[in-house]
Structure formats: structure tokens, C-alpha cells
A and B are shown apart, each in its own frame.
Chain A
Amino acid sequence: MDSWSGVADTDLLARLRAGDEDALSPLMARHERRLYGIAYGYLRNADDALEVVQDSFVKLYQLCAKIDARAEPGAWLTRVAINGAIDRYRQRKRRGVHETTVESEEWPELAVQRDPSAIDHLHAEDSRRAIERALPYLNERQRAVVTLRHFSELSLDEIASTLGVRIGTVKSSLNRALARLKTVMGEARA
């Protein structure tokens, strides 16, 4: 693996395209944890997240010939992973094993938490639970934007490009998502 340390991702992709399947391993080593973080952040389930990561690398191998040679494999993998997570989330919803999804129409019925210190009082475990309780209040796009912003630290432009939406949509999704998360997380403490 060390012999690949100075080789750029794009060069590894070029080797993969040329049929050198050994080039996949260093790409996996470089991106597996980041992709797992994104998939876990979206799905909050270790097994599902692992399968998304696995599928992403399989797709990279299978579709490498179709990827633009100038493309950054990391960005391509991020797009595949977040879309894979969204697909898996939809499958879970169809199978009825999803969290209790709360539609936006029901949102106003939630009491707004007005104790500004409530979120401060959350401890790490409470915090994790509060986030998991709050995530179902987001629609798929808001959830994806929050995941990419917080778990992958992408810029708004990169998020827009990854999700194939306009930057204005990313901004409004992030704005709304944070407002909803703030209220539900505060409520979790109340």
C-alpha cells in the first residue's frame, strides 16, 4: 500500500480505467472512513452504512470507464455514497423499518422549545439521541444537506454539485434543517 502514497487519486483512477484493479485498494484506504461517516450520518445505522460504502467502491470499479478522466474520484464517490444512502433510506421507508417520519405539515403542532440553554445541557449520549430523534423531522434533501455539511464539511457549492440542485436550494434546505433540528433537540431536553 505504501508504494501508492505519492500517487494522486486521479492517477489511481486512470490506472483503474486501464484495468489495474490493484489501484482500487489505495482509493478505498483513502476514502472508506469518510464515506462511512457520510453514510452513517445519513442512515444512523452501521450495517446499512457499511453496505453503502461497499456498493460505492463496487460502482467505482464497475463504472470507472464511464467516469470523466478529469473527475476527482473522491467527489464522485461522495455523490455515489450520499445517493446510495438516500436510496437505502427510501427502501427502509418502503419496508416500514424507518424512523417515525414526521411530515412538514405536522411540524407546527410541535411545541417550540424556548429554553435557550436546553441544548447546552445535552451530554454526548443525549446529544446523539437528540440528533437521531430530530433527523426524521427533515425531508430527504434537508437530511442530505446536513449530512454533507456536518459529516463531510463540504462547501455549499460542493453540496449543490453533489446533490445536483441549485445553491439556493442548498441554502434554504440548510436554513430550515437547522431550525428544525434546533427545536427538536431543545425539546428532547425539555
Chain B
Amino acid sequence: MNLSHYLHSGRLGLLAAGALSPAEADAVRTHASRCPSCGLELGDLERAHKRLLEDAAIERPLPISSEALRTRVFAQIRAEGRSRVAPRAWGITQLAAAFGLVIAGVAVGFLWSKGGIAPSDPSRPAMEIADGGDAAMNAEFYERIEKSQTRANAARYLSEAQDVLIQVTAAADCPDSPKDSVDVTRESETSRSLLQRRAAIVSGSPEALVAARGVMEEVEGLLQEVADLPQCSRRSDVDAIARRVDRKKLLMKIDLMTQELAAP
């Protein structure tokens, strides 16, 4: 392996995809013309790229007419109402608010079952349950909701942690970074924020997360390492984290656990 190979072999895919500047493309193509293995690799990549473009160029009309689509869109708008804001991915604030609501609900249910809160509106359905005298059923109901919410929050946390670990792996592999350093500022910040969320999730209903404990501990360890990285990190440090993610098969484990947690 010579310097030219080291510099250019990692950019063959970008050259094939037409994603390099003319000067960069010239340099990589010149190298590929002199390096047999890179020449072969570039040929393969260009054929794959061509196939993708051909597939993208296939005429794929909408399965319904434009008129029918318009009708559907306006029907959905009418049904949902203009003022409604479409649901978005939950941020920390929303998660905290949802978590707070669940806890408040459980507390209210518990106090109710003990007769600690006087009902102010006898027409409310939840009160009918309490008035029915079935306090155990009431507590069980809220406990189920809390567990379900904890599992949903944990699934969301793991999914976002997975994104961070993928980002770190990609950063380690980024051909644009300087040779010895990698900028992981955003990943470090996100990791710190995720670790704070983890503490809130686990403290909620730990028994709901027994099966996830192992994966969550592994994820926590790696997030902690990412969080501790300086803004401009040594490539070897980032590489080491990426290798650990790979060795532990953590992305696959997160996928499986997320599915399990999200299952009804």
C-alpha cells in the first residue's frame, strides 16, 4: 500500500456516485488508472451506481390519479382540522412531561384508592372506577400504563442511542476528517443528554426494563465514552469506540431490544 492508495482508495464510491469535485475526481481517477485493485473496484462501483440510476429512472406513476390524491389530501385535512399540528418525534421536554403525567396519574390513582382525595366531579369516568370500590384494579391499571410508558420511553432512548453510535462509527470512517482527529462535538452532546434521560427512564419503573437491563448497561457504557470525548478527538479513540460497538454487536442488540420493548 502506498500513499496514493491510502489517500484515494476510500473515495472510490464517491467518485462512482459523481460526488467529488472535478479536482478530487481527477486525482482519484488517476490513482485508479494506475492501481489494479482500485481500478477493478471502481468499475464495480460504477456499474452498481449505473444500476441504481437506471432503477430510479424507471417510470413509476402514482398508483392513483392526481385528482384522487388531491381528494384524499383534502379529506384528511378536513378530518384532522387545520389547527392540528402533526405529531413529531418526542423531545426531552415532551418525554419529561409524559413521564410526569404518568407518575401524577399513578399518584392520583393511589391516593384515590386510599380515599385521600375527595372527588370534585362525580361525572368523570376515572372516578367511577374509584367509586366502584375496586382500588386494586385501579392501581393495577395505572401500574400497567406506567410500565408501558417506561418501555416506550426506553425503546425511544435506545433508538436514539443507536443513531449516536452509528454517527460515531461514520465519523471514524469519514474520509473528509483530518487524518488524526475527528469532530464528535454533536455526538458527545447528544450522549450526555441521552444519559440524563436514561437516569429518568430507569428510575420510573425498573421492573418493566428487566429484560433490557443488559443492553441498556452496554449502551450506557459506550455513551459515557462518547460523552467524555473531547471536541476534537483522536481518530484512534473514536475508532476504538466504533470497534467496541462492532464487537459487541450492539446495533443488532439494540434493534432486537427496541422491537421487544415496543411490542404490545
Q: Closest CB-CB distance, B10 to chain A, in whole Å?
A: 7
Beyond A127-B55, A169-B170, whether A182 also contacts B73 by CB under 8 A is no
The answer to whether B13 and A103 have CB atoms under 8 Å apart is no
Residues of A within 8 A of B73 (CB): 24, 28, 54, 57-58, 61
Q: How far is the CA of A146 from the CA of B49 in the complex (A)?
A: 10
Question: B13 touches which one: A62, A128, A151, A178 (CB < 8 A)?
Answer: A178
Flag the segment in B40-48, B102-110, B126-134 that touches A.
Answer: B40-48
Task: Report, as a range, how many residues of chain A touch the other chain.
Answer: 35 or more
CB-based contact B170/A173 at 8 Å: yes
Interface residues on B, range: 35 or more
B53 touches A103 (CB 8 A): no
Known: A171-B175, A175-B10. A149 touches B55 (CB 8 A): no
Residue pairs across A and B with Cβ atoms less than 8 A apart, 13 shown, are A28-B73, A33-B62, A55-B76, A62-B80, A94-B263, A105-B251, A150-B53, A174-B14, A175-B11, A175-B175, A176-B13, A176-B170, A178-B16
Q: Which residue of A lies closest to B177 (CB)?
A: A168
Interface flags, A134-162, vs B, CB<8A=1, else 0: 00000101000010011100001000000
Interface residues of A in 68-111 (CB under 8 A from B): 90, 93-94, 96, 101, 103-106
Q: Is the CB of A28 within 8 A of B70?
A: yes
Specify which of A21, A32, A50, A168 lies most central, judged by the most chain B CB atoms within 10 Å of its CB. A168
Is A50 touching B64 in the complex (CB atoms < 8 A)?
yes
Distance A52 CA – B58 CA, assembled complex (angstroms): 20
Q: Which residues of B contact A186 (CB under 8 A)?
A: 44, 48
- Given contacts A141-B166, A178-B17, A181-B48, A171 and B62 within 8 Å (CB-CB): no
Report the bound CA distance from A120 to B159 in whole Å. Answer: 38
Residue of B nearest to A151 (CB): B56
The distance in angstroms between the C-alpha atoms of A24 and B55, with both chains bound, is 30
> Are the C-beta atoms of B10 and A169 separated by less than 8 Å?
no
Q: Is the CB of A120 within 8 A of B170?
A: no
Q: Interface 1/0s, chain B 140-151, versus A by CB < 8 A?
A: 000000000000
Smallest CB–CB gap between B53 and chain A, Å?
6
By a beta-carbon cutoff of 8 Å, the part of chain B in contact with chain A is 10-14, 16-17, 19, 40, 43-45, 47-49, 51-56, 58, 60-64, 66, 69-70, 72-74, 76-77, 80, 82, 84-86, 159, 166-167, 169-171, 173-177, 186, 246, 249, 251-252, 255, 258-259, 262-263
- Give the contacts of A43-66 with B (CB-CB under 8 A): 46-47, 50, 53-55, 57-59, 61-63
Task: Assess the A175–B259 pair: CB atoms within 8 A.
Answer: no
Tell me what chain B mostly uses at the interface: helix, strand, loop, or mixed.
helix
Q: A178-B45, A182-B48 are in contact. Are A150 and B259 (CB under 8 A)?
A: no
Given contacts A53-B69, A168-B174, A178-B13, contact A120 B47 (CB under 8 A): yes
Top 7 closest A-B pairs, CB basis? A175-B13, A182-B48, A103-B252, A178-B13, A168-B176, A119-B47, A168-B174
Cα distance, A167 to B21, chains bound together (Å): 14
Which residue, of B73, B166, B175, has the highest number of chain A Cβ atoms within 10 A? B73
Q: Closest approach, in angstroms, between the C-beta of B255 and any C-beta of chain A?
A: 7
CB distance from B218 to the nearest CB of A (A): 14
A53 to B40, CA, bound (A): 40
Complex contact A127–B69 (CB within 8 A): no
Pair A63/B72 contact, Cβ less than 8 Å: no
A185 CB–B CB distance under 8 Å: yes
The distance in angstroms between the C-alpha atoms of A175 and B60, with both chains bound, is 27
A61 in contact with B77 given A36-B62, A171-B19, A174-B17 (CB within 8 Å): yes
Say yes or no: A182-B44 contact (C-beta < 8 A), given A58-B80, A103-B252, A105-B252. Answer: yes
Residues of A within 8 A of B60 (CB): 36-37, 40, 46
B56 adjacent to A150 (CB under 8 Å): yes
Q: Is A169 a contact partner of B55 (Cβ separation < 8 A)?
A: no
